[in-house]
């Protein structure tokens, strides 16, 4: 499903070059529930942006479902983000002044689908928010907002869900609920990638990719042990 080889991404800031990704290769199969873990600044978000077709690598290859992403136009990338990928962010990134339902419908409007209302209601039902469809984001709790965001991510029925620190802004109990939701969605066959710095979150996933200074690395022994005990 996802096959990234030797990804390099550099940022240039005032004469200084930051190598956010330094020869990163990851391979993720359809139906996996994977954590991308690493300390802050290790390049997780950068990797996620590239895997999510929001950004280009400076070097390396990225094959998504057998297609070489490097050769695709901006419009085609937008279509891929719309149809094959669902994003969930730490701070939810819902649009203000739009109801939960309208937020969830939005990706379908960009796909020019005419059954938007119906499908959005179904997605909200899956995340357990059928009774909050007409609330605006500022009328919802953090956990509820993240559920709306997840509904928006799954509404186009994408193969992959990319979640960047999805529990980072939530208390631990709400976080657990969100992770449980991801598990359910994964059980239904969706590929889910959770980016986190938190080993406790990573523990909910079936596999972990550990990043350190822009490279894939072996996690420090202690945490590795914990994680292996989980398996």
Partner 1 sequence: MILWMILKVALKSLMANKLRSILAMLGIIIGVGAVIAMLAIGAGTQASVMGRISAMGTNLLVVRPGQRGTGGVMSGTQQNMTLDDATALLTQVRGIRAIAPVVSGNGQLKYFGKNARATVMGTSITYMPIRAFEIERGEMFTEQDVERMARVAVIGPVTAENLFGASDPIGQTMKVNGINFRVVGLIKSKGDQGYFNPDDQLIVPYTTAMKQLFGLDYLREIDIQAKEDADLTQLQADALAVLRKRHRLQPGTPDDVNIRNQADLLETANEVSKKFTVLLGAIAGISLLVGGIGIMNIMLVTVTERTREIGIRKAIGAKDRDILNQFLIEALVMSALGGLLGVGMGVGSAEILGRFTDFATIVKPYSIFLALGFSAAVGIFFGYYPATRAAKLDPIECLRYE
Ligand X SMILES: Nc1ncnc2c1ncn2[C@@H]1O[C@H](COP(=O)(O)OP(=O)(O)O)[C@@H](O)[C@H]1O
Nearest Cα neighbor of 107 from 150, 53, 163, 164 is 150
Which residues in the 11-70 window bind Mg ion by CB under 5 A? Answer: 45
43 in contact with ligand X (CB under 6 A): yes
Taking the least distance from each CB to ligand X, the nearer of 46 and 99 is: 46
Q: At what angle do helices 142-154 and 116-126 cross, to 10 degrees?
A: 130
Taking the least distance from each CB to ligand X, the nearer of 36 and 126 is: 36
Binding range to partner 1, per CB under 8 A, among 14-22, 85-93, 175-183, 209-217: 85-93
12 in contact with partner 1 (CB under 8 A): no
138 in contact with ligand X (CB under 6 A): no
Q: Can you point out the beta strands (E) in the chain? A: 2-13, 16-28, 33-37, 59-64, 67-68, 85-88, 160-164, 191-196, 207-212, 215-217
Binding range to partner 1, per CB under 8 A, among 17-25, 101-109, 189-197, 222-230: 101-109
- Burial (Cβ within 10 Å: 0-12, 13-18, ≥19) of residue 3: middle
**Secondary structure string (H, E, C) spanning 88-108:** ECCCCCCCCCCCHHHHHHHHH
45 in contact with ligand X (CB under 6 A): yes
Buried b / exposed e over 44-61, threshold 16 CB at 10 Å, is bbbbbbbbbbeeebeebe
The only residue of 1, 8, 54, 159 in contact with partner 1, by rule CB under 8 A: 54
41 binds, among ligand X, partner 1, Mg ion, none (CB under 5 to 8 A by kind): ligand X
Instruction: Give SS3 for 13.
Output: strand
CB of 66 to ligand X, least distance (A): 26
- Return d(Cα 175, Cα 191) in angstroms, integer: 19
52 binds, among Mg ion, ligand X, partner 1, none (CB under 5 to 8 A by kind): partner 1
Name the site residues for ligand X (rule: CB under 6 A): 11, 13, 18, 20, 38, 40-46
Residues that bind partner 1 (CB under 8 A): 49, 52, 54-55, 74-75, 78-79, 81-83, 87, 89, 93-98, 106-107, 109-112, 152, 156
């Amino acid at each position: 499903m996802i096959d990234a080889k030797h990804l390099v991404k550099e940022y240039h800031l005032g004469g200084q070059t930051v190598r956010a990704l330094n020869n990163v290769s990851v391979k993720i199969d359809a139906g996996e529930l994977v954590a991308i873990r690493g300390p802050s600044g290790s390049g997780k978000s950068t990797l996620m942006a590239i895997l999510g077709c929001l950004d280009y690598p400076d070097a390396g290859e990225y094959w998504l479902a057998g297609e070489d992403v490097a050769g695709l136009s901006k419009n085609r990338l937008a279509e891929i983000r719309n149809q094959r990928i669902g994003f969930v962010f730490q701070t939810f990134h819902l649009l203000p002044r739009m109801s939960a339902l309208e937020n969830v419908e939005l990706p379908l409007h960009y796909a020019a689908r005419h059954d938007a209302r119906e499908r959005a209601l179904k997605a909200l039902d899956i995340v357990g928010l059928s009774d909050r469809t007409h609330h605006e984001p500022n009328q919802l709790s953090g956990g509820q907002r993240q559920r709306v965001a997840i509904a928006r991510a799954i509404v186009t029925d994408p193969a992959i869900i990319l979640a960047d620190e999805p529990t980072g802004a939530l208390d631990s109990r709400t976080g657990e609920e969100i992770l449980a939701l991801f598990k359910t969605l994964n059980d239904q066959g969706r590929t889910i990638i959770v980016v986190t710095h938190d080993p406790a979150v990573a523990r909910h996933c079936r596999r972990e990719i550990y990043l350190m200074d822009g490279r894939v690395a072996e996690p420090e022994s202690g945490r590795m042990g914990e994680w292996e005990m989980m398996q």
